[in-house]
Amino acid sequence: MKNKILGSIRKKLIFILSIIAVIAITLTTTTMFTYISKKRISVDKSRLVNLSNIMGENLLASLSFDDRQSAVNTLYALKVDNSIDGAFLLKNEKSEFAIYIKNKINKTKFKSKLFNMMDTKNFIFSQSNTYIDDENIIVSKPLYLEGEYIGSLFIVSNKDEIKKTLKEIIYVLSLVFIILILITLLMASKLQKIFTDPIFVLTTVMKDIETNYNYEQNISISRNDEFQILFDGFNKMIKTIQEQNTRLKLLADTDPMTHLYNRRYLTKVSESILDLAKRNETDLSVLMLDIDKFKNINDTYGHNVGDDAIISLAIILQEESRKSDILSRWGGEEFVILLPATNIDGALVISEKIRTVVEELVIKIEDVQELKFTVSIGVSQINKERDVSIENSINRADKALYEAKESGRNKVCIN
């Protein structure tokens, strides 16, 4: 699910950047196209107006002397300009005087367009007019002689050159558009790598933690941006969790007074120790011991001294044990020790050593009194063929401990 979300983030980033690029390029292209188109039309319109002014001066004489042939010759001079479709000279308002039409232009359509222009409400014969449609630019020039209106000149220009220019612009802009889109996609790909790769690293680590409870994590990627702060914070958080987990595990598995393992931990690991002994065909022994007449110690000296006795015994057990031995406080003043790779004879040697050291121990009480105490120890060896659980051996050690108590204490007994 998280990988799908991440993939979605990557796709969305590329998509959003691409859309932004398309919009920006489209707006820029449209603006440029519109500007160039209007600019070109404006230039052509100005050119036609200037041309009509020049030709109007030449046609005044033709109109005043009613010389149609001279007017036609003057208009035909326009054929050198490919952008001019034709020209039309009116005498007064609607009397055709002279006309020039390019060969490929339909005369009927040509004149119809002009008359339609004249019939519009905005058209005034006595004023200059400009008419622009999809195909043509038409300029009309009123002609005056000594202040009297005598006719109008119409020059019709096609927009072929404008269209050709615009097509070239569209072609160039299309190429630019494609190139910019490709550049944008490359940039988007680079950006998504910059931003989503660190997210991918974080989600991968977090998924491992969530699935496998693996807090032995560390993001070792080095970056020179804000993600490095995020990585450092994440590593620090994980380290804190590791330390807290270690402390919690220690609190859960150890006795806070003696710092030995507690009964819960010994029960938890005992089965695996038994399985290991059976697989390797090695011996495994159990010691159970407790402080003799511990109630009398508490009643006589107080619970604080009783705690000192328990702590002192725990220290002796640690000093007299091996690294492979599992020491645990079973409850109250009772302790259980698992002795891997140890038979009953070896267990007796260790037990006797512990009993002797404890017997010789002297605890000072407020520098005035002294406390001495002893322990009774029950010993048993695992029967690898018969015992299905280490609890059986612990129970036998418990019975041997009871026997040691009943037979006078400060003893080691076997069951």
122, 141, 163 - which closes a domain: 163
**Residue 66 placed within a domain:** yes
Q: Please write the tens of the pLDDT for every residue from 123-145.
A: 888 898 888 888 889 999 999 98
List CB contacts of 110: < 8 A, sequence separation 6 or more: 85, 86, 101, 156
Contact 350, 244 (CB under 8 A): no
| 101 and 7 together in one domain | yes
d(CA 403, CA 251): 34
Helix 344-360, helix 303-320: angle, nearest 10? 140
Predicted pLDDT at 159? 84
| 308 and 246 together in one domain | no
| 111 and 12 together in one domain | yes
**Residue 307 placed within a domain:** yes
User: What DSSP element (H or E) covers 286?
Assistant: strand 284-291
For residue 326, is pLDDT > 80? Answer: yes
**Number of domains comprising the chain:** 3
We report the CATH number of the domain holding residue 373 as: 3.30.70.270
* Closest among 157, 130, 180, 135 to 27, alpha carbons compared: 180
Q: Which pTM does this prediction carry? A: 0.50
d(CA 361, CA 313): 9
We report the CATH number of the domain holding residue 73 as: 3.30.450.20
**Residue 81 placed within a domain:** yes
Greater confidence, 98 or 385? 98
**Residue 225 placed within a domain:** yes
| 16 and 153 together in one domain | yes
226, 253, 280 - which closes a domain: 253
**Residue 396 placed within a domain:** yes
**Residue 191 placed within a domain:** no
Average pLDDT over residues 13-26: 73
Average pLDDT over residues 163-182: 80
Contact 284, 277 (CB under 8 A): yes
| 106 and 29 together in one domain | yes
Q: Please write the tens of the pLDDT for every residue from 346-379.
A: 999 999 999 999 999 999 888 778 899 999 999 9
Predicted pLDDT at 12? 65
User: What DSSP element (H or E) covers 172?
Assistant: helix 160-212
| 379 and 325 together in one domain | yes
d(CA 289, CA 330): 9
Question: What is the pairing mode between strands 284-291 and 95-101?
Answer: unpaired
**Residue 120 placed within a domain:** yes
Q: What is the dihedral of CA 387, 390, 394, 395, to 10 degrees?
A: -50
pLDDT tier, 244 (very low <50, low <70, confident <90, very high otherwise): confident
Q: Length of the chain, please?
A: 415
Predicted pLDDT at 141? 92
Rg of the chain's alpha carbons, rounded to an integer? 54
- CA within 13 Å, CB half, 68: 8
**Residue 207 placed within a domain:** no
| 367 and 221 together in one domain | no
| 86 and 225 together in one domain | no
| 94 and 45 together in one domain | yes
| 347 and 235 together in one domain | no
| 275 and 245 together in one domain | no
Contact 330, 268 (CB under 8 A): no
d(CA 373, CA 17): 82
What are the angstrom distances between the C-alpha of 215 and each of 40, 78, 242, 286, 402? 71, 90, 6, 35, 45
Contact 47, 162 (CB under 8 A): no
In one letter, which amino acid is 348? L
Q: Which domain holds residue 220?
A: 215-253
List CB contacts of 336: < 8 A, sequence separation 6 or more: 263, 266, 286, 287, 288, 328, 330, 394, 397
pLDDT tier, 14 (very low <50, low <70, confident <90, very high otherwise): low
163, 182, 198 - which closes a domain: 163
| 269 and 323 together in one domain | yes
Torsion sign (Cα): 325, 276, 267, 401: negative
